[in-house]
Amino acid sequence: MNKRVKAVLAAGCLAALLILCVGASGWAQSSATISGTVTADRDYALSQASGKHIPALVAVRVRARDVDRRITYTVFTDKGKYHIYNLPAGNYQMSALQDGFDSTTPAVELKAGESKTADVALKVKPDHLRAELVDYDTLFPPSPTRDYLMQNCAGCHGLEHIPWQRIGGRDEDAWRTAVSRMFDMDGTNNHTGVPQVNPAAIPQAKRDEIIQYFSKTFPLDGKPRDLKLADLPLDEEVLSRTIDIEYELNVQPGKKESEISNHDVWPSKFNSMVYIAEMGMDVVQGMDTRKLDFPDRYTTYVLPNPDKGHRKLGPHGITQAKDGHVYTAEIDESSIGEIDPETGKVTQYETPTRGTPHTIRSDSKGNVWFTEMQGKSLVGKLDAVTKKITEYDPSPSDANAHYYGMTVDQKDRVWAVGMTSHKIVGYDPKTDKWSVYPTPTQPSGPRRPTVDSKGKVWFSEHIGQNLGMLDPDTGKITEYKDPFPYFGGYECYADSKDNIWVTLRSYGVLAKFDQKTKKYTYYPEPFPDIMGREHPGPHGTLMGGLYPPKIEEGQEGTFWYTGIGMHNLVAFKPEGNVPHTQKAGN
């Protein structure tokens, strides 16, 4: 091990120790608490998921925003009551979230060591469903064209991610324009230099059939429809121990808050920083978890843009290699950015083939691997020593594979998912060969893979409605059927206890899958538009939404995420909302 790596690791260990000391000290000095009761002027809510009446006061999300530090703490009620423990002194604005209700917003001035009460009242709004909620076959009438769509297009679009039904009704000419955009530069707003879909993958005759299907299914004067979902069971006792902490992000000079658009995060294993790939402003932001004050908690690394004025860089995926350098996949510029956090120096490496670098990970030797989603569908490796990029085509027969998520296992084997080829691909560095594993369910739309402590590869199936597990030793894939309809499983992440976490795009929920019991526990996200339906997308649609496309576990079992449309970085602590004295004793 060289001296620089030793120094980085030593600094990381010291930083970790400091975090624990500072965290414990801060808790001990503050230990302030806000508690209260949530009431409602009606005992039921109209569920935007199912269209049914649900209890108004079950697992209500209560939010306390520190107005000076721009940090929001969200907890859940248990039998109508809530407690937010271990808060720093500050000025707080309280509110509560429930479908179809407005909330009072009492203010609380909290001093160190205080316990204060703030009751919150929910006031019902006029009942309104955004669309008629129907089943899958009603929304997408069965036909060979539907089957073709799901096989070749839904891996990206999905049923709740950039959903066709929410793009809005159009006439045939408008649908022809929309479909054609997928095969030319308009589909990426001329940012990436490659089309969304490889034109060689979808013949013109099939494109015409798709246009006819959409024109008939979603006509210009058609009634708004969407998928009818379930109301997930929520365990108030479990949820009351959780806390979500949202850190509002810093807007760069000359930019607007609306331009913030994040994707992946990376909590450092060397220091107290969490790094954020900020696509909208072509920067990587680092947040120091030891600092609360805004904007002092942030360090910004500006990425040089050789095409400034023409296209953005679009930093998308992010990781940190063993030398402590941060790497980001610049999806719009077809390059990999390398940042030295100590000096701020940025070096960029252009990919040999024009594409869209997406997810990025490093192996034990410091090589940096990344998927290239659009264009030719490749996987790339940036060599740690030579700094040369090698590209691989894991499955040459799949012209439209769309390699999306990827991970590296304990043996430095590389795993990626083809979300429109519906296959898992794996690279073994010992044999220098790729293996290809079609999912049992077709189409499946795998999104993100992860590896547990035993080397098993888990992956979400965005449209297959399964959680998949590949055993690399046998090549066998086992699928666990989603217990409720249209999960829209996006991220898939194995934590330090071998729980498998899946972000449910359709429901706005983090779901924990217990490998032993094969059961899920559900944790709603802390946002007003819980299912991503109220957040406006481009061109006046409702395609957007707040959802975490990637989560990462940091120190002390904290999960970090951000996402497109989010203006904040979120720390999710499954056991974080307990008094400090109780926490210390566990």
Domains of the chain plus CATH, in order, are: 32-124 (2.60.40.10), 132-227 (no CATH)
Q: Would you state the pLDDT for residue 10?
A: 39
Asked if residues 276 and 285 have their Cβ atoms less than 8 Å apart, the reply is yes
Q: Would you state the pLDDT for residue 252?
A: 87
Q: Give CA–CA dist 228/133, Å, rounded.
A: 5
Asked if residues 12 and 270 have their Cβ atoms less than 8 Å apart, the reply is yes
β-strand partners of 226: 133
Residues of the chain with pLDDT under 70: 1-30, 185-191, 308-311, 528-546, 581-586
- Is residue 59 helix, strand or coil? coil
Q: φ and ψ at 555, to 5 degrees?
A: -75, 150
Q: Would you state the pLDDT for residue 159?
A: 83
Neighbours of 125 (CB within 10 A): 12
β-strand partners of 19: none
Q: Give CA–CA dist 451/460, Å, rounded.
A: 12
Q: Degrees (nearest 5) of the Cα angle 221, 224, 227?
A: 145
Q: In what order do the strands lie in the sheet with 61-66?
A: 107-110, 90-97, 61-66, 71-76, 243-248, 568-573, 559-561, 551-553
Q: φ and ψ at 230, to 5 degrees?
A: -100, 165
Q: Which stretch of DSSP H or E encloses residue 161?
A: none
The CA-atom distances, in angstroms, between 460 and each of 155, 246, 357 are: 11, 26, 20
Label the pairing between strands 44-46 and 81-87.
unpaired
Q: Give CA–CA dist 551/541, Å, rounded.
A: 27
Q: Which stretch of DSSP H or E encloses residue 496?
A: none
**25, exposed or middle or buried, with CB in 10 Å at 0-12, 13-18, 19+?**
exposed
Q: Would you state the pLDDT for residue 15?
A: 42
Summarize pLDDT for 159-211 with one digit per residue, the tens: 877 888 888 789 999 999 999 988 886 556 556 778 888 888 899 999 999 99
Q: In what order do the strands lie in the sheet with 509-514?
A: 489-494, 500-504, 509-514, 519-524
Neighbours of 135 (CB within 10 A): 11
Q: Give CA–CA dist 456/410, Å, rounded.
A: 10
In 215-278, the DSSP E strands lie at 225-227, 243-248, 262-267, 273-278
Give the pTM.
0.91
Q: Give CA–CA dist 40/101, Å, rounded.
A: 8
Q: In what order do the strands lie in the sheet with 326-330?
A: 315-320, 326-330, 335-339, 346-350
Label the pairing between strands 101-103 and 346-350.
unpaired
Q: Tokens 């992000």 sit at which residue?
A: 249
Q: Give CA–CA dist 95/103, Å, rounded.
A: 6
Q: Give CA–CA dist 284/349, Å, rounded.
A: 16
**375, exposed or middle or buried, with CB in 10 Å at 0-12, 13-18, 19+?**
buried
Q: Give CA–CA dist 237/240, Å, rounded.
A: 5
